[in-house]
Amino acid sequence: MLPHILFRGLLLGLFGLVAAQDGGISGPQTSPEAAGYSCDPNSCKLPDCNCASTDPPGGLDPDDVPMFVVFTADDAIQSYTLDAVNQFLAHRKNPNGCQPKMTYYVSTNYTNYTLVTDWYVAGNEIADHTMTHVGSPPADEIHGNLIALNALAGIPMSSISGFRAPFLQYTAETLKLLHKAGFTYDSSASASIPVTDPHTDAYWPYTLDNGMANGCLAVPGTCKGEPKLPGFWEVPMYSFFDRRGGAGPHLMDPWLDYANGGTKLDNNATLDYMRNTFTDHYNGKRQPIGLYTHPIHVSPSYVAAPGDPQMIAMINTFLDWAQDHPNTWIVSTEQLLDWVRHPVPASQLNQLASLQCTPPAIDAKICNGMPQNEAGLINHCTFSDAPFYTCYGCPATQPMPSNPNPEQDTSKETRLRLPANCSTPFWDPVKGECLCTSSSCAFNDVLRPIGLNGENYVPGGAGGSMDSKPKPTDTPYIPFSGGNPLFVPSTTVLVGVFSVLVGAMGMARL
Ligand SMILES: [Zn+2]
């Protein structure tokens, strides 16, 4: 192990975030025998059923398939973790001129909720990574995270559609639980065999109508037809491979691994094998590749252990190089999945609403996840071990799996939580008003079959027993573009606000 990684691991342990080397693999996680997978493409058809296959969806010729680079981040959201992501994505554009979006698998413990709101309103995907970062997670860790993200970050329940298991430790039960709770997909299983190997497990995302086809050697009770979860997707995490091929997989944070069986970090060797794996995918059947990051390791502003500038530069060099390949798109997991469900040739990709960017014009002084509107409106919740900010009123106690939505602290200003018929950027939590009055933006956040007792959870909880039900609006509406709220604030504003928050937080936990 590397001394600096151990140091980070120690720090992370202290802060309860995540152990370093979270999600590493060292060899194949499945085999054709272990998978025992069969699926009939004549009966399993898009958009809600897809067989595990190395062939692109929709029968497309690989030359017409976009090359997707899925960008994800895991764990708590703090200003310095968003700085880390921004340094890779904020200055980039996809072929349609839109800034790339990414998926943040959020653990709410140690998360600064107001930054989750900002990140979501900026068009990124917010997904579930349990409340306190536990592998093989019990139901309350998964459900509690949804409830807390909805209550304190104003994320609509229906937009939290994905899950990644901490340490990538999932079980058959985890997958069943996710399906039951109305999630669309899991992304915890790894594709661990190179695309150049005839037995590759680099499948395009697939539904579990016929069970799992990845992770079969690692996770009991999966594969050979199990678990059967119709319409529920697995989005495999695609490994990079160094010169050792299948014996040298690198999954999360590959830049923290030793390449080629070496004994020290070598950014050039890492860049070399990342390019080679990308090329194998690009020249083959165009299965996606993924940059699966723990941003805390490469943050320019994490005071306790700032990321190595040369490592950061290497990652940007890789992305520059990848984007030089025609039809390469950097996407969130939900954007990838939307395309898989509705595959169109790369030349028509901008037809998909989920890949477009249509900023809403909201310049009211409200606390809505748009930093330029929020001056003086963000609540500071001063818990000694993990303070945070929110637009939605401070809870009296820290949200925990046993009580993810505590009563609001009535000794402070209370707020009205996002109701089920208003979307985040339009909701004024101070006045309890929904600013959108257009029939073109109808929204109805659905019941979700979760809750501590398995009951359907109604989004927009007021916080504990407080009787402060939001007022319904006469005209319901949906987020912009008919899909995700795709608003692109200027990078400088975001970076500026994050910097202010770093200062405001005073790095108290450090
Ligand atoms: Zn994690």
Could you tell me if 205 and 337 are in contact, meaning their C-beta atoms sit under 8 angstroms apart? yes
* Spatial distance between the Cα atoms of 259 and 103, rounded to a whole number of angstroms: 26
Cα(27) to ligand 1 centroid in Å equals: 20
From ligand 1's centre to the CA of 322, what distance in Å? 26
The pTM of the full predicted model, rounded to 2 decimals, is 0.88
Q: 75 C-alpha to center of ligand 1: Å?
A: 5
State mean pLDDT over 174-184. Answer: 95
- Is the link from the previous residue into 326 a cis peptide, with omega within 30 of 0? no
Q: Confidence band (pLDDT; 50, 70, 90) for 457?
A: confident
Coil, strand or helix at 274: helix
pLDDT at 509: 23
End-to-end CA distance of the chain: 24
What six digits make up the tokens of 316? 């940007």
Between the CA of 64 and the centroid of ligand 1 the distance, in Å, is 34
Work out the number of other CB atoms within 10 angstroms of the CB of residue 173. Answer: 14
**Mean pLDDT, range 385-391, rounded to an integer:** 95
Lowest mean pLDDT segment, chosen from 100-109, 407-416, 421-430, 465-474? 465-474
Q: Can you give the C-alpha Rg of the chain in angstroms? A: 22
Q: pLDDT grade, residue 458 (50/70/90)?
A: confident
Residue 449's CB is within 10 A of a number of other CB atoms, namely 14
Asked if 162 and 334 count as a contact pair (C-beta separation under 8 A), the reply is yes
Name the region of 23 (left: φ>0; alpha: ψ -120 to 50; beta: rest).
left
Q: Which residue has the higher pLDDT, 123 or 505?
A: 123
CA of 166 to the centre of ligand 1 (A): 4
* pLDDT tens per residue, range 362-371: 889 999 999 9
At 454 the pLDDT is 60
Gap between the Cα atoms of 148 and 125, Å rounded: 16
What CA–CA distance (Å, rounded) separates 185 from 171?
14
When pLDDT is cut at 50, 70 and 90, the band that residue 508 belongs to is very low
- For the ranges 135-139, 202-206, 218-222, 450-454, which has the lowest average pLDDT? 450-454
Going along the chain from its start, the domains and CATH numbers come out as 3-29+63-345 (3.20.20.370)
Predicted local distance difference test score (pLDDT) of residue 439? 67
SS3 assignment, position 439? helix
Residue 7 reports pLDDT greater than 60: no
Stretch 392-398: mean pLDDT, rounded? Answer: 96
Q: What is the 186 CA–ligand 1 centroid distance (Å)?
A: 14
Strands 190-191 and 237-238: parallel
Closest CA to 250 of 271, 233, 229, 232: 271
Q: Which two tokens stand for residue 30?
A: 């499945």
pLDDT tier, 451 (very low <50, low <70, confident <90, very high otherwise)? low
CA of 133 to the centre of ligand 1 (A): 6
Strand, coil or helix: what is 437? coil
DSSP lists the bridge partners of residue 163 as: 128, 186
- How far is ligand 1, taken at its centre, from the CA of residue 334, in Å? 19
* Residues 268-272, mean pLDDT to the nearest whole number: 98
Q: How far apart are CA 84 and CA 334, in angstroms?
A: 21
Question: How far is the centre of ligand 1, averaged over its atoms, from the C-alpha of 134 (Å)?
Answer: 8
Instruction: For residue range 44-103, list pLDDT tens digits in order.
Output: 999 999 999 999 999 999 999 999 999 999 999 999 999 999 999 999 999 999 999 999
Residue 246 · residue 224 · CB < 8 Å:
no
* Banded pLDDT at 158 (limits 50, 70, 90): very high
What is the distance in A from the centroid of ligand 1 to the CA of 105?
8
Count other Cβ atoms within 10 Å, centred on residue 220: 10
Q: Compute, in angstroms, the gap from residue 74 CA to the centroid of ligand 1.
A: 5
